[in-house]
Chain A
Amino acid sequence: MAKPNDLVQGTLDLLILKTISLEPKHGWAIAKRIQQISGEVLQVQQGSLYPALHRLEQKAWIKAKWKETETGRQAKFYSLTAAGRAQLEKEAENWSRLSAAINLVVETT
């Protein structure tokens, strides 16, 4: 099973961008979502999301807003900026190319 350290930094960025591309989410929800969608294969160490989130925020690819959750508590919700959406497209494309290439190598040899 992939541990967080095995995740390449760029890959975590891609996962985050993709996860919040549909609707704003707070950190915990992002972690949960990644685990869920990947069928529990990607066990992101939850805390390691935060340096990544703040780095993406500083790059202005995502923006954050404090909002109330359904339980009435304040939480920091992250959403994509226009630049972030463009970055997501770029990284997703890179990833497709890379994984296709790796597949090709693995299946042919």
Chain B
Amino acid sequence: MLWARRFWLKLRSLFRHDRNAQRLDDEIQFHLDQQIAENLSAGMSREEARYAAMRAFGNPTFLKEETRDTWGWTWLEQIAQDLRFGLRALRRKPGFSILVILALALGIGVNTTVFTALDATAFRPLPVEEPDLIVRVIRWIPQGYGGTLFSLPEYVYYRDHNDVFLGLAADSCCYNVVYGGQPAANAVTMHQSALLTARLVSENYFEVLGINAVLGRTFLPEEGQSEKSNPVAVLSYQFWQQRVNSDPNILGKSLILNATHFTVVGIAPRDFIGSGDPPAVPDVWIPLAMQRYIVPGSQWMNNTNTYNVRMVGQLQPGTALKRAQPVLTVLAPQLAHTPIAKDQTASTTHLTVKRASFLDFGGTGAEFAVSVTLALAAAGMVLLVACASRRRGAIPRYVVSSVRS
């Protein structure tokens, strides 16, 4: 219980500080008086006795300060003293003060913003049902890191041949598509016609991530099967809310993208900002089967050497990352020896999985990582400058103390 007693003593000394200081004065005065009395009885003159007592004692001011320090709240007093001094200095030089305050405010503000943004996106797991089970697949080649982009045939192979994933989905990056077309009775009407961003995803994408539509449905298995037959779209919540005024009757309406009619089948939840890398919520999600209409002029379906999709898998519950690894290590060389293997596919040594987050390095994620790093560095510099200007304004504490004492 010694610590409790010590804490109590400290607490008491905080609230009785002035009284304790007074009592310390009394205590030391008593000491000096005792010594003076002894010196007097030893035959010294009054003056001599006082002087000798002081000499035997030492510097009272210094010793009192040292004694008060043992009470343990000196740091608090020093903060208070620094604050008082700071306020006086601020009053003396208002112009400089405003500059310093602005610099500090800017520094702190920028830092807070950057960290908040990062925390809300990059450092957070994907906004899905069970983020712990969602992993991204990474390719390794003899030279090392091979990125996270795969060809569509590769994706199909891994999807059909693994037994570690409950589901393996594919998503592409963001493509700009032109909205617009003939005004039709059942067409989606937007206030601004513009370029929209679309992401191509496998038909099981929402299912794998455990995302349900808040309105309508997500994609059906058959909508991933053949080209052209399934012109459907799932809208992001933000797009639905901001561009079409949360139109409650939007399901079944037609959205004309790149001159092709897409039927709106569902709205994604508000929190779902995609599995993007970098994080950016698209306006619409379109089944990969419709790739030719979203990215005209290229053909991914049977193309073994265009690498445009990332793979996101949902591990079987209870499957550790470690257990998924060997399976993928076996699958990659197997695929490398099939006829569809070319280029990257053929030279893939193995695959690894990592828990999916937004700060994935590789592909466009690398650019995102660079911009994040730059933003952090810039924010750091601003704070540094702010701190530096604060230092220039401060006079070292000991100067103040010596003036005071």
Contact = CB atoms under 8 A, between A and B. Distances in A.
Contacts of A46: 31, 35, 56-58
Chain B interface residue bracket vs A? 20 to 34
B367 interface: no
| SS class, residues of chain A in contact with chain B | helix
A95 interface: no
Contacts, number: 72
Interface string B18-38: 000001101110110111000
B70 A58 contact: yes
Interface string B48-83: 000000001111100110110111100000000000
B29 to A, nearest CB: 10
Instruction: Give the most central of A48, A51, A73, A74: most B CB within 10 Å.
Output: A51
Contacts of A76: 23, 26-27, 30
Contact of B57 (A45, A59, A66, A74): A45
B35 to A, nearest CB: 6
Contact of A48 (B6, B35, B58, B70): B58
Given A46-B56, A48-B63, A75 B30 contact: yes
SS of B interface (majority): helix
Nearest to B6: A60
A46 B35 CA distance: 10
B5 interface: yes
Chain A interface size range: 20 to 34
B9 A54 contact: no
A31 B63 CA distance: 15
Contacts of A83: 2
A104 B9 CA distance: 42
A74 B30 contact: yes
Contact of B69 (A31, A51, A73): A51
Could you say which of B34, B59, B66 has the most chain A C-beta atoms within 10 Å of its C-beta? B34
User: Which of A26, A46, A57 gathers the greatest number of chain B CB atoms within 10 Å?
Assistant: A46
Interface of A: 4, 26-28, 31, 45-48, 50-51, 53-55, 57-60, 66, 73-76, 83
